[in-house]
Structure 1
Amino acid sequence: MTFGATPPPGPQPPRRSRARRFLPLGIAAWMVLEVWLLIVVAGATNGLTVFLLLLGGVIAGAYVIKRAGRRAWRKLTETLQAGGDPAASSKDPAAAGGDNTLPMLAGLLLMVPGLVTDVLGLLCLFPPVGKLLHRRAEKLLARRSSGTPGTLGDAFQQARMHRPDGKVVQGEVIHHDDDPPAPRQDPPLTG
């Protein structure tokens, strides 16, 4: 046994992305901001007003989600009755008669208790902001998906075994069961 010897360098663990590192901090800051705003509004008015604001947000969010869901269901049934392929119409939301993602997101944001989320939900319902968000999301998804094919076969192909020396070896495990398992022998009960 030698003292002071350094162990051989092993593979480094993957680094956490910046978003994963700061997401918990962002959520905590958002929660503090929501609580602070509710306290400020309660101090300026009263607790009943804050309760009615939160209740109104939940009711408005449920209405928006219900309306968007009905619209999506109606488009699906129209597509199926016309003999079309719902998978083909979902690839082009504009051709299918609109996209329900932003109204659903808006309803969800309205239902989450808080004033900031209510404002964000109302902004998602505002058509110019909705178009802007839709374009930005399309650009982001197009940029992200340009390098990854994303099929199920590719996911299995990317599953690899790592050896201790850092080399990547693709393969599969084959179990040869030549001998059947021995029957289980329980000890006799005494007593």
Structure 2
Amino acid sequence: MGKLFLLFIGLSLLELTVMIQVGTVIGALPTVVLIVLTAMVGSALVRQQGLKTLLEAQQRMQLGEMPARELLGGMLLALAGLLLIVPGFVTDLLGLLLLLPPLRGRLADRLVKGVRVQGAMGGFPPQEGFGSSPEPTLHDRPGTTIEGEFERKE
């Protein structure tokens, strides 16, 4: 069987076990209310941090830099939102952990480390640290100019 399938089954069983245990301690209705409340609060936090990440990515692009960490941070925020919406306490805990900027930054750094993005301009240099600016920018690097024509259609 695939590892992802086993992870899904294992996580589902763990969620059911935790929900049953919490339900026996605080009752069924408070458990359901708590699950719905964490989904609502979590989605509001994801929206707030997502807008901040989007603004940071736009600033980097205006400087001619590749917003790789911001893009990965946004993807991790989307994963956090998904985990918070899925009913259960274990996924809520994982989603809340991904909402912590230092942890999300470290994960993004690990994912980006050593990756070199190649594009029409010859690529961007590897970047140091989450949210930091690399020394050379796109405007400082020699590149290839591609001439072309465009037509505006309205």
Structure 1 and Structure 2 fold alike (TM over 0.5): yes
2:89 matched residue in structure 1: 115
Cα distance in 2 for residues equivalent to 1:37 and 1:63: 24
Q: Per the alignment, in what secondary structure is the counterpart of residue 2 of structure 2?
A: helix
Please provide the CA RMSD for this pair.
3.5
Does residue 1:128 correspond to 2:85, yes or no?
Answer: no
Task: For structure 2, list consecutive stretches of 5 or more residues without a partner in the other structure.
Answer: 121-154
Cα distance in 2 for residues equivalent to 1:38 and 1:102: 25
Equivalent of 1:100, from 65, 74, 81? 74
Structure 1 residues 51 and 117: alpha-carbon distance in aligned structure 2, compared to 1, 3 A threshold: same
Question: Contact conserved, 1:60 with 1:107, CA < 8 A, in 2?
Answer: no
Equivalent of 1:68, from 49, 55, 62? 49
Question: Contact conserved, 2:57 with 2:67, CA < 8 A, in 1?
Answer: no
Amino acid at match of 2:52: R
Cα distance in 1 for residues equivalent to 2:57 and 2:109: 24
Q: Per the alignment, in what secondary structure is the counterpart of residue 100 of structure 1?
A: helix
- Spell out the pairing of 1:102-181 with structure 2 (5 A cutoff): 102-139=76-113, 142=115
Question: Contact conserved, 1:54 with 1:113, CA < 8 A, in 2?
Answer: yes
Per the TM alignment, residue 65 of structure 1 is displaced from its structure 2 partner at its CA by 2.7
Question: Contact conserved, 2:18 with 2:89, CA < 8 A, in 1?
Answer: yes
- Spell out the pairing of 1:25-36 with structure 2 (5 A cutoff): 25-36=6-17
TM-score, structure 1 as length reference: 0.50
Per the TM alignment, residue 78 of structure 1 is displaced from its structure 2 partner at its CA by 6.4
Question: Contact conserved, 1:109 with 1:117, CA < 8 A, in 2?
Answer: yes
Amino acid at match of 1:103: L
2:143 matched residue in structure 1: none
Structure 1 residues 76 and 126: alpha-carbon distance in aligned structure 2, compared to 1, 3 A threshold: closer
Residue correspondences, number: 120
Instruction: String of CA shifts for 1:38-61, please: whole Å, max 9, x gaps.
Output: 011001110122112111121022
User: What stretches of structure 1 move > 6 A for 4+ residues in a row?
Assistant: 76-80
Amino acid at match of 1:111: I
Question: Contact conserved, 2:77 with 2:99, CA < 8 A, in 1?
Answer: yes
Q: Per the alignment, in what secondary structure is the counterpart of residue 87 of structure 2?
A: coil
Question: Contact conserved, 1:63 with 1:107, CA < 8 A, in 2?
Answer: no
Cα distance in 2 for residues equivalent to 1:90 and 1:108: 26
Does residue 1:46 correspond to 2:20, yes or no?
Answer: no
Amino acid at match of 2:41: A
Structure showing the higher helix proportion among its residues: 2
Identity over aligned pairs, percent: 28
